[in-house]
Amino acid sequence: MKFNRFILANLFRKKIRLILTVGSFAVALFLFTFLAVVKSAFSRGTELAGADRLVVINRAGLINTIPLSYRDKILQIKGVKAVTHNNWFGGVYQDEKNFFPQFVIDPENQRQVMTEMRVPDDEWNNFVKDRQGAIAGAGLAKRFGWKVGDRIPLKNALYGPTKTWEFVLDGIYHNDHPGGDESQFWLQWKYFDETVPSVIKSLVGWYVVKLDSPDDSVSVAAAIDKGFANSSTETKTETESAFAAGFAKQLGNIELLILTIGGVVFFTLLLVTGNTMAISVRERVGELAVLKAIGYPDLYVLFFVLSEALVIALIGGLIGLGLAVLAIPVVGAALRGLLPPLLLSVGVLSLGLAFAVFVGVASGLLPGIGAMRLRVVDALRRV
């Protein structure tokens, strides 16, 4: 376009200011993208939760257990296809900072319910036969460099005196869902139930129920809770996505926190860029007046100011997004175990670019309208 040279020449007239403004855009966009990725990581459990699965927990709270005997009663409810049960193990591998979720699973039913988590048949069969067997997610195995056959000791103080439990890695699971969780460690229910103190025996942490149809979720959840109403252990049944959302909320209102920080970033950036553009326009009042005098329409003047703001936003934005592409895998690796996997999707990158464009246009709008409304006669008198 024939005005490119003019717009670029104006942009580069104050190089240090340009670099600082572009830099602030880049940092803000990086922060925006990082926050969006963290938010997406926390909500991924909800998004990927099976629509045809229910989670049954003790009405008194997740840390309270439920009798194993409930399993058969749940299975009899119409609309239930399969049931599996899990317990939280809570062991420590080498050091507490090496946190990863460890679940005691029911090998007979786990694969029928958690269908997206795939384990090769031979590895699964070895696991089922091996009392001390364990299955690890592909991400977890990669994190610690584990291979099938490795012995994995986990120190545990939740179930009786502190002791080290030895496991043999029999298999590795992969998640069918892109970005799905591959960080879990599964161990055998039988080994767990035989080893824990008698007061904990035959008690499970929660049930996961597979339904014939997602349409049955409300009626089946109601039927389960009704079936155990007024018993010593009442239940609370909800869809897996509601359960995942509730679980994430236990960490605090992550979404509100991220939106608040994002809002602060947005307005700060708007002020920084808006101020830069306002100063830039103020410095050029005479030049803009000359342009209007020689026949440049008001809309062209607005276009020039908006274009400059937009170019700053796009350059800064692309640098920020580029930084995010490079840094998020590194940051994600460093925070592994503390946060869910950080995945930078095309959607988040597009959102970041849209954010940059929006801030660019918004920050240039007021100075641009001011330039557009400039009276040539008044402006020339000031020169």
Question: Which residues contribute to the site for another protein (CB under 8 A)?
Answer: 2-3, 5-6, 9-10, 12-13, 286-287, 289-298, 376-377, 380, 383
Q: Which residues pair with 80 in a beta bridge?
A: 211
Q: CB neighbours of 86 closer than 8 A, spacing ≥ 6?
A: 103, 104, 105, 106, 204, 205, 206, 207, 208
Task: Specify the residue, 158 or 293, whose C-beta has the smaller distance to another protein.
Answer: 293
Task: Specify the residue, 297 or 329, whose C-beta has the smaller distance to another protein.
Answer: 297
Can you tell me whether residue 368 is helix, strand or coil? Answer: helix
In terms of DSSP bridges, do strands 102-105 and 80-88 run parallel, antiparallel, or are they unpaired?
antiparallel
Q: CB neighbours of 250 closer than 8 A, spacing ≥ 6?
A: none
Task: Specify the residue, 346 or 383, whose C-beta has the smaller distance to another protein.
Answer: 383
Task: Specify the residue, 318 or 380, whose C-beta has the smaller distance to another protein.
Answer: 380
Q: The tokens of 40 are what?
A: 């997406």
Q: How far is the CB of 10 from another protein (least distance, A)?
A: 6
Q: Pick from 75, 77, 99: which is nearest to 88 by CA?
A: 99
Q: How far is the CB of 281 from another protein (least distance, A)?
A: 14
Q: How far is the CB of 369 from another protein (least distance, A)?
A: 15
CA distances from 121 to 127, 149, 186, 357 (A): 10, 16, 16, 50
Task: Specify the residue, 73 or 373, whose C-beta has the smaller distance to another protein.
Answer: 373
The answer to whether the beta carbons of residues 212 and 80 sit under 8 Å apart is yes
Q: How far is the CB of 357 from another protein (least distance, A)?
A: 25
Task: Specify the residue, 117 or 315, whose C-beta has the smaller distance to another protein.
Answer: 315
Q: How far is the CB of 3 from another protein (least distance, A)?
A: 7
Q: How far is the CB of 6 from another protein (least distance, A)?
A: 7
Q: Angle between the 4-11 and 298-334 helix axes, to the nearest 10 degrees?
A: 60
Task: Specify the residue, 47 or 378, whose C-beta has the smaller distance to another protein.
Answer: 378
Q: The tokens of 96 are what?
A: 């507490």
Q: How far is the CB of 290 from another protein (least distance, A)?
A: 4
DSSP secondary structure code for residue 79 in this structure: T
Q: How far is the CB of 380 from another protein (least distance, A)?
A: 7
Task: Specify the residue, 135 or 374, whose C-beta has the smaller distance to another protein.
Answer: 374
Q: How far is the CB of 17 from another protein (least distance, A)?
A: 13
Task: Specify the residue, 13 or 73, whose C-beta has the smaller distance to another protein.
Answer: 13
Q: Which residues of 351-382 are buried (b: 16+ CB within 10 A; e: fewer)?
A: ebbebbeebbebbbbebbebbbebeeeebeee
The answer to whether the beta carbons of residues 209 and 113 sit under 8 Å apart is yes
The answer to whether the beta carbons of residues 99 and 151 sit under 8 Å apart is no
In terms of DSSP bridges, do strands 117-118 and 163-175 run parallel, antiparallel, or are they unpaired?
antiparallel
Instruction: Name the phi and psi angles at 136, rounded to 5.
Output: -120, 150
Question: In the chain, what is the straight-line distance between the N-terminal and C-terminal CA atoms, in Å?
Answer: 30
